[in-house]
Structure 1
Amino acid sequence: MTPSLRSRLWASGFAFVLGFAVANYGIIRISRPDLWIWVAVAIALILTSAAGILFADTRRALSIWSIIGIELFAVFTLVPLLWTFSVATAPVGETSRTVLPQSISWSAFDGALHSDILQRAAVTSVLVAGIATLVAMPLAIGAAYALVRQPVRGRRLAYGLVLAALLVPLVALAGPFADQIIAFDRFGSRLALVPPALTVTLPLAIWLCVTIFRDVPWSLREAVRADGATWVQALRRFGVPHIAPGVLVATLLVFLAGCNDFVLGAALSSDDASRPLPATLLLATGQLEGSSSAVAAAGLLWILPALLLLLVFPRRINQLLGRSYR
């Protein structure tokens, strides 16, 4: 659908007013060097307003609202990351007071990499998330195949329950899980976190696998089988090129989601020996030397795998996360 003239003009007006307000607030209330961030954001919004007016009456499928949304998303994503980097690179004994770093010291990153507490917590996160992913993916593949390919009554209801499980607040499940773990006398064990982690990994894995199987050309599999191919040949000619790449990316996404859970890790761990990294970073104040810088540095290091995955598989991730089951 081509955006209307009125929609573009409204978006242009909104971008100009917002950019004008950001510029004035920055000039009046924000000191240098952070002032330049506000000025840059204001200039981008005002230029977007001008572009919206110039292209208002064209037939191009250009949505100014979408551009504004992308710009605001970039600001609310990059500015916190920049602030975290500023805190992480503050010299020892200093506290960063600006978003833009003034002087850079890498000692916090070295301390985070060599901290016994953080190393142990990272191993716990990888172990728990890895086991939960290995359990969840085969179950999710079977469930997704049934939801997409089998004419089972109530499959939409079942899929709705899967989506509902994705939306359940984990903090509401922490108490019952803790009671069960205590009843089995496993509270404080690393492996005791695996069953609760399935509440994160399994619904997400099913949702992603349903998206994968919906886009698979199943007629090609029927053609391969009609040609008399064995199951090994069918796997090589159909499964590997059409299903395996999506399943691989889904597995990595599920693993990252399991690694980044902090609610269950904080609620179901008794000490640093069994606490995963996100929960450790949440509770690490006072336990690490230069705790603010160390926590910020560890957090930046922890998101590097997610950024790498996004850079390596951008189109595949967009296909997985940008589609829904119908």
Structure 2
Amino acid sequence: MSAKERNWWIVAGIVIVLYALFPIAWIVSLSFKAPADVANGQFLPSVFTWQNYSQILTGDAASLFLPALRNSFGICLIATFLACILSMFAAYAIARLDFRGKKLILSTALAVAIFPVISIVTPLFNLWRLIGLYDTWPGLIIPYLSLTLPLSIWTMSAFFREIPWEMEQAAQVDGATSWQAFRKVIVPLAAPGVFTTAILAFFLAWNDFVYGISLTSTSAARPVPAALGLFSGASQFEDPTGATAAAAVVVTIPVIILVLIFQRRIVSGLTNGAVKG
């Protein structure tokens, strides 16, 4: 690559980074603006204030935001744990066993992943009200599995394919049962893949809005994305832009920390198995 081409790639990279980070920077700036300063058209606030953060953490909006934050952490962690456990067994069977319908399972998982969520919300809403799962944690955990399981199966099956089959056979020759070989040999070797899958599954569940707004009605199970849409100003003439931006910043901080710490694992999980040889 010549020096001119390298400079063009650097410029293009800087433009892309600025384009991607500008909305985040704008939200952070809005979170430090006073209500009267939101619509002034300036990027930076004229006076920095913590009013919006105090409003969502200790003020009027705390009763809406803090329970939603607790619900999001609890529901997403449980959904991620279940998705990892179920996908671990499914991925092992797909990677190790020869049976009819293996490709059908993977195709079905992919079809579920690309199926539009909005098309099943209404029947799910009616079903949940009939059986008593509406506005409950299980009523969100079960639909979240439809988001996290397909990606988890695809990602984890790629890791299981990379584990040498001879290691499991060696454990069985030494007297280990199939379950012992899976639990003591395969699972520890696949731990990086399981960890990567858990991070990706957590992100999917954490960012969901459609299920959260449609299948909850109170703070008993309402997640953060749904709670942000219900913020209101001090009066009907005031737009809660600053409080919403502050809540968005608080919610985004855990995701940014996870991405910065585990970005290598995420990339390896997405690209593992893509190249052979």
Query: Normalized against structure 1, the TM-score is what?
Result: 0.71
1:110 to 54, 59, 64: 54
Structure 1 position 314 matched with structure 2 position 263: yes
Give the partner amino acid of 1:151.
D
The higher relative CO (CA closer than 8 Å, separation ≥ 6) is in 2
- Structure 2 alignment gaps of length 5 or more: none
Q: Decide which moves more: 254-263 or 171-180.
A: 254-263
Distance of 1:131 and 1:117 partners within structure 2? 22
Equivalent residue, structure 2, for 1:291: 240
Equivalent residue, structure 2, for 1:45: none
SS in 2 for 1:283: coil
Percent identity, please.
30
Distance of 2:142 and 2:227 partners within structure 1? 20
> Residues 53 and 71 of structure 1: is their aligned pair in 2 closer, same or farther, counting only changes over 3 Å?
closer
Structure 1 position 169 matched with structure 2 position 116: yes
Contact 1:109–1:294 (8 Å) recurs in 2 = yes
> Residues 54 and 72 of structure 1: is their aligned pair in 2 closer, same or farther, counting only changes over 3 Å?
closer
Deviation at 1:140, TM superposition (A): 0.7
Distance of 1:302 and 1:218 partners within structure 2? 42
Distance of 1:235 and 1:194 partners within structure 2? 26
SS in 2 for 1:95: helix
CA deviations over 1:238-295 (Å, ceiling 9, x no partner) = 632x211321232232123212211111111123443211011123244899721111
Give the partner amino acid of 2:22.
V
How many aligned positions are there? 268
Q: Decide which moves more: 155-164 or 96-105.
A: 96-105
Larger radius of gyration: 1
Give the partner amino acid of 1:276.
P
Distance of 2:165 and 2:42 partners within structure 1? 55
Structure 1 position 220 matched with structure 2 position 220: no
Q: Decide which moves more: 182-191 or 116-125.
A: 182-191
> Residues 102 and 322 of structure 1: is their aligned pair in 2 closer, same or farther, counting only changes over 3 Å?
farther
Equivalent residue, structure 2, for 1:94: 37
- Structure 1 alignment gaps of length 5 or more: 9-49, 56-63
Equivalent residue, structure 2, for 1:78: 21
SS in 1 for 2:36: coil
Query: Normalized against structure 2, the TM-score is what?
Result: 0.83
Distance of 2:101 and 2:55 partners within structure 1? 53
Distance of 1:234 and 1:142 partners within structure 2? 10
Equivalent residue, structure 2, for 1:269: 216
Give the partner amino acid of 2:82.
V
Q: Decide which moves more: 187-196 or 76-85.
A: 187-196
Distance of 2:17 and 2:76 partners within structure 1? 29
Deviation at 1:92, TM superposition (A): 4.9
Distance of 1:71 and 1:321 partners within structure 2? 24
Structural mapping, 1:92-241, within 5 Å: 92-95=35-38, 97-114=41-58, 115-226=62-173, 235=183, 239-240=187-188
Deviation at 1:206, TM superposition (A): 1.4
Q: Decide which moves more: 75-84 or 182-191.
A: 182-191
